[in-house]
Amino acid sequence: MTIPIDAQAQPAAGLTEVLQERLRSYGTPHATVAGEVLYKVGDPGYDLILIEEGTAVVVREATPGSPEEVVSRQNAGGILGEMSLLSRQTVYLTARMEEGGVIHRISPDNLRRLMSTDAELSDMLLTIFMARRQQLQTSAAGSVEIVGHSRSAESLALRTYVARLQLPSRWFEADSPEGAALMRVAEVDATQLPAIIVPEGVIKNATPGLLAQRSGLTYRADSPSEIDLVVVGAGPAGLAATVYGASEGLNTMLLDAVGPGGQAAASSRIENYLGFPNGLSGEDLIARANTQALKFGAHVYSPCKVVGLESVSDGLKILLEDGGAIATKAVIIATGARYKVLDLDRWSDFEGAGIYFAATELEVRPLAGKPVTVVGGANSAGQAAIFLASKGCAVNIVIRGSDISAGMSSYLVDRIEADPLIEVRSSTEVSELRGDAFLSAITLTDRAGGGAEVVPCDGLFCFIGATPATGWLQDVALDDHGFVLTDSRIGDDRLDERWATLDRRPLAFETSVPRVFAVGDVRQGSMKRVAAAVGEGASAVASTHAAIRVMA
């Protein structure tokens, strides 16, 4: 939870004496002795700690495959803490006093008060927290060890979750000497992969849900009960709604069935997002937004699947897959849309083993230099093709139409046409998948002439169509394609019966159910661009405030 020893330039971690004094005002002093444990792996939470006298060490506890390792040493003026203080993550490193002295403990509640009232100190702490998390991710200090196969769907899902949450971890390929050795000492066999090795033990056949439970990142019974706003879906629209809701004083909770990101996290590079002339990856954008949400005190839980929404006498109730329920005053639906699949034999067999719906470093690295196919003609497909070509892949872009410029931004079309590794196969469709355990080839069929060609393909990246994630909505009015109707698009005959007593029509982004809003790709008529989704999420919060005020 602190920067590794060789990365720490100053013992005070950038805090001046003035800032240290202000930080002390939020805490309480405690005398300590050598060997005293300040917090340990598995604790549900911990305090931010400022060391006034003495020395503390932060250690990565021993696992079956690794001995204990000192991650950081902090002297007088140093602080102990990183991003997990804001995410409410279970403690994954242990801190103890190497030399006794005096510390100041700043409780989680006081830290949140500090973050909302002292801008200078808040910014400095956030910078330190983010730097420490980055150092932990790029060093060998991660206390979570994952072993599996890079082309396994289960391993990919687990690694994607870890990447989106920026959880410090180390990956071991099961077929590597290091991975095989770790499996032996952890007593894991090939049928139990992927496996997670942590100081407390081994999680076999691990899933994102199991890791989230271990990390304290799922909704718990002791989570806050007084919630003003629940945002369902953590793509750009949902994250924007969460940031603006929390920053404007609403007690806000964000839930996602998978993890932060949505379709945006699947993009290797977004170049037309305002304020980033050099572009940024979807993963980076989502990580920044998630950090902002945590900074303003939002409660973020994933994976946490929502299965229903009910109106009750005093508000709304969100129903969870595990049987739990969350009472709230307002809901913003931001569940987005999923890419469609092709109706081909063995499609499900190859998902995660050659068929992918994202083109990030995780999916692309094992395919570097190999032949791949991108299906789709929108920006996401173009970005994927360019990224794959940059890794030495020979790329076929397959589109059903005759002109790729019909649905793709011109700057992407220009780059595709200029790249010798990319070939556009227009008026073409994928008609067959081939391979044993992994995809190895596909059949392409000319839609005009009917001719078929078998081409090598180690990876098929699918970016076609959009199916709205609205199957969990029973009473909210949808259009014929399943997209949510909002504000002026809702006919009077589709309005919930309670509108008669409200003496108003739906506000901007409000659905047919009072105080339930919809933003982003899930909403009928939305513009399918990241910037537009962010704008909708932020704008919907103004309507949410207005609806809650009327409720009061």
Q: From CA 310, how far away is CA 314, in angstroms rounded?
A: 11
pLDDT digits (tens, 9 = 90+) for 429-472: 999 999 999 999 999 999 988 899 999 999 999 999 889 999 99
Helix axes 153-165, 208-215, angle to 10 degrees: 40
Q: From CA 445, how far away is CA 452, in angstroms rounded?
A: 4
Overall average pLDDT of the 126-136 stretch: 90
Could you tell me what percentage of the chain is helix, strand and coil, using 3-state DSSP and rounding each to the nearest 5? 35, 25, 40
Q: From CA 37, how far away is CA 59, in angstroms rounded?
A: 11
Give residue 12's pLDDT band: very low, low, confident or very high (50, 70, 90). Answer: very low
Cβ pair 227, 326 in contact under 8 A? yes
pLDDT of residue 265: 86
pLDDT digits (tens, 9 = 90+) for 403-433: 999 999 999 999 999 999 999 999 999 999 9
Residue bearing tokens 């995780």:
362
| Least reliable range by pLDDT among 62-71, 249-258, 362-371, 446-455 | 62-71
Share of the chain above pLDDT 90, in %: 76
Q: From CA 165, how far away is CA 141, in angstroms rounded?
A: 16
Cβ pair 216, 304 in contact under 8 A? no
pLDDT digits (tens, 9 = 90+) for 505-536: 999 999 999 999 999 999 999 998 899 999 99
Q: Quick check: helix, strand or coil at residue 155?
A: helix
pLDDT of residue 418: 98
Q: Indicate whether 223 pLDDT > 70.
A: no
DSSP string, 449-514: T--EEEEE-SEEEE----EES-TT-SSS-B-TTSPBP-GGGS-GGGS-TTHHHHTS---TTB-SST
Residue among 179, 93, 183, 216 at smallest CA distance from 143: 93
SS3 string, 191-233, reads: HHCCEEEECCEEECCCCHHHHHHHHCCCCCCCCCCCEEEEEEC
Give residue 226's pLDDT band: very low, low, confident or very high (50, 70, 90). Answer: confident
End-to-end CA distance of the chain: 42
Give residue 1's pLDDT band: very low, low, confident or very high (50, 70, 90). Answer: very low
pLDDT of residue 158: 94
SS3 string, 51-65, reads: EEEEEEEEEECCECC
Q: Which residue has the higher pLDDT, 12 or 328?
A: 328
- CB count within 10 Å of CB 48 equals 23
Q: Indicate whether 538 pLDDT > 70.
A: yes
Phi, psi of 22 (to 5 degrees): -65, -35
Q: Which amino acid is at 123?
A: D
Record the tokens describing residue 85, joined without a space: 């203080």
Q: Which residues contact 504 (CB under 8 A, 6 or more apart)?
A: 550
Overall average pLDDT of the 256-261 stretch: 92
Q: Indicate whether 4 pLDDT > 50.
A: no
Give residue 496's pLDDT band: very low, low, confident or very high (50, 70, 90). Answer: confident
| Least reliable range by pLDDT among 71-85, 118-132, 219-233 | 219-233
Q: Indicate whether 222 pLDDT > 80.
A: no
Q: From CA 466, how far away is CA 266, in angstroms rounded?
A: 14
Q: Indicate whether 142 pLDDT > 80.
A: no
DSSP designation for 339: P
Residue among 315, 350, 293, 19 at smallest CA distance from 153: 350
DSSP designation for 488: G
Q: From CA 174, how far away is CA 65, in angstroms rounded?
A: 14
Residue bearing tokens 């067959």:
432
pLDDT of residue 11: 38
Q: Indicate whether 13 pLDDT > 80.
A: no
pLDDT of residue 8: 40
Averaged pLDDT score across all residues of the chain = 92
pLDDT digits (tens, 9 = 90+) for 360-389: 999 999 999 999 999 999 999 999 999 999
Cβ pair 70, 141 in contact under 8 A? no
pLDDT of residue 305: 94
Record the tokens describing residue 486, joined without a space: 């909002």
- Apex CA 496: angle with CA 494 and CA 502, to 5°? 125
| Least reliable range by pLDDT among 32-46, 133-147, 416-430, 446-460 | 133-147
Q: From CA 376, how far away is CA 378, in angstroms rounded?
A: 6
Residue among 226, 326, 293 at smallest CA distance from 541: 293
Cα radius of gyration rounded to whole Å, the chain: 25
Overall average pLDDT of the 202-231 stretch: 87
pLDDT digits (tens, 9 = 90+) for 165-177: 888 889 999 999 9
Q: From CA 7, how far away is CA 81, in angstroms rounded?
A: 15
pLDDT of residue 7: 38
Overall average pLDDT of the 344-351 stretch: 96
